[in-house]
């Protein structure tokens, strides 16, 4: 029996939408500089449902970012199968968008042009509809009045909000986020976490988040996947049964504390396989 079935049988039996993304027995191997084979992921089984926020947590080097790269189409499995919408082929840039730890905005463009950049690359011509969508996204994150500013005029948190808008301009079905708030101070990070929950509530995007913060994973997620130390495997899967909308007060909820402690125990005191 799989680890999550053994410990949380209700997760397997609970009804829910069909998975949007499915990884079945996926392994990824790399060759090190000395020619030795390094296994980043080993027989990873994971299903991500349409419209949910799932976080990946686990020890450093357990393959979290590799999993994002697989879903983005930037890396191919060495073994196993990865499907989106039940198919093995990607539909292009508009299907999946990525937000990285740093915003990587183009300094010579203003905020609006940075948000529109993926649309310009894809179509080369921008219409009124695309510009209106960009302004709507900036309004969603409270930056409509900053559309004409350069990135250097914005704080780090504001720049990351612009990067999130840029990732959404092509209306992707899947948003991949690799430690998107990791470089920010604690207060800005907390504000952006709640912004992300509000964006998710309004757009219904499927979001897969890589984070080293257990509290961030519990605050943001519908489910949290705990990965084992390398080679990465799915160790446990948690349903976060905390009511939405969540707020600055959510971390004081006893359920929040309980989930965070269980996940912490699983990372630092992993259960041994039989």
What are the domain boundaries of the chain? 3-95+172-268
Q: Which CATH superfamily is domain 3-95+172-268 in?
A: P-loop containing nucleotide triphosphate hydrolases (3.40.50.300)
The reported pTM is 0.88
Residues 50-63: tens digit of each pLDDT: 999 999 999 988 99
Q: Which segments within the chain are labelled E, that is strand?
A: 19-31, 37-49, 53-57, 79-84, 96-99, 174-178, 206-210, 223-227, 234-239
Residue 21 phi, psi dihedral angles, 5° rounding: -125, 135
Residues 186-213: tens digit of each pLDDT: 999 999 999 999 999 999 999 999 999 9
Whether residue 13 is predicted with pLDDT greater than 50 in this model: the reply is no
Cβ partners under 8 Å of residue 136, min gap 6: none
Pinpoint the alpha helices (H) of 8-87: 9-13, 64-72
For residues 156-162, average pLDDT: 95
Q: What share of the chain is helix, strand, coil (3-state, %, to 5)?
A: 40, 25, 40
């Amino acid at each position: 029996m799989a680890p999550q079935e053994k410990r949380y049988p209700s997760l397997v039996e609970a009804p829910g939408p069909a998975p949007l993304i499915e990884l079945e027995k996926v392994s990824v191997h790399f060759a090190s500089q000395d020619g030795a084979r390094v296994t980043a992921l080993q027989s990873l089984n994971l299903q991500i449902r349409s419209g949910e926020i799932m976080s990946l947590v686990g020890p450093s080097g357990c393959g979290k970012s590799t999993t994002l790269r697989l879903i983005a189409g930037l890396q191919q499995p060495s073994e196993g199968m990865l499907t989106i919408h039940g198919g093995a082929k990607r539909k292009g840039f508009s299907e999946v968008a990525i937000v990285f730890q740093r915003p990587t905005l183009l300094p010579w463009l203003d905020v609006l042009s940075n948000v529109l950049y993926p649309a310009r690359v894809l179509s080369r011509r921008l219409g009124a509809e695309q510009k209106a969508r960009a302004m709507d996204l900036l309004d969603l994150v409270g930056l409509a009045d900053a559309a004409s500013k350069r990135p250097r005029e914005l704080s780090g948190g504001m720049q990351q909000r612009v990067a999130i808008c840029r990732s959404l301009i092509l209306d992707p079905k899947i948003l991949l986020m690799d430690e998107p708030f990791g470089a920010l101070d604690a207060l800005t990070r907390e504000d952006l976490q709640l912004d992300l929950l509000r964006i998710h509530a309004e757009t219904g995007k499927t979001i897969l988040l890589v984070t080293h913060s257990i509290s961030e994973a519990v605050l943001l997620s519908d489910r949290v996947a705990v990965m084992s130390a390398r080679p990465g495997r799915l160790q446990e899967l948690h349903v976060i049964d905390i009511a939405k909308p969540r707020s600055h007060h959510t971390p004081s909820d006893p359920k929040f504390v309980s989930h965070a402690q269980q996940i912490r125990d699983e990372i630092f005191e992993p259960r041994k396989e039989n």
